[in-house]
Amino acid sequence: MPYCPDCEEEFRPEVKTCPECNVDLVDALERGNGDLEVAFTVMYESKAHIIRGYLENEGIPCQLENATFSMEPVPVPSLMKVRLWTRKEDVQRARQLIGEHEKFSACSACGGVVLDEDRVCDFCGAALEP
């Protein structure tokens, strides 16, 4: 099956050009983290999907890596992380966009997404600027 190298959508064999991106399709996608970087780490999967949708609407493609592990009946917070990966060239813009969002900001020490009212980063323990 051919794939679009830009949006990574899969198409039927007879399609030769991505109708959305207007680029020629390729037989295989190059995978790997060579050009990707973690832009954010969040504690809850639902929050990660909201941030991903927001960034993708701003033209920044994202991938989620769910590192969640929970034990019933109580989840283990340090084991419930979801990483949002973007292209290296988009990381700073992604962090800036989240920083401008009304409810979230990024920890300047580790890039973790924190609520504006938080005073300490849940991920690295750094003090957050008010």
CB 87 within 8 A of CB 35: yes
In tens, the pLDDT along 59-87 reads: 999 988 875 555 555 555 555 678 888 98
CA-derived radius of gyration, the chain: 17
| Cut 0.95: pTM above it | no
Rounded CA-CA distance 104/115 in Å is 5
Location of each CATH 3.30.70 domain in the chain: 36-115
In tens, the pLDDT along 83-117 reads: 888 988 998 899 888 877 757 777 878 777 777 77
Kindly give the interhelix angle for 45-57 and 91-100, rounded to the nearest 10 degrees: 110
Topology of the domain covering 36-115: Alpha-Beta Plaits (3.30.70)
Rounded CA-CA distance 5/92 in Å is 23
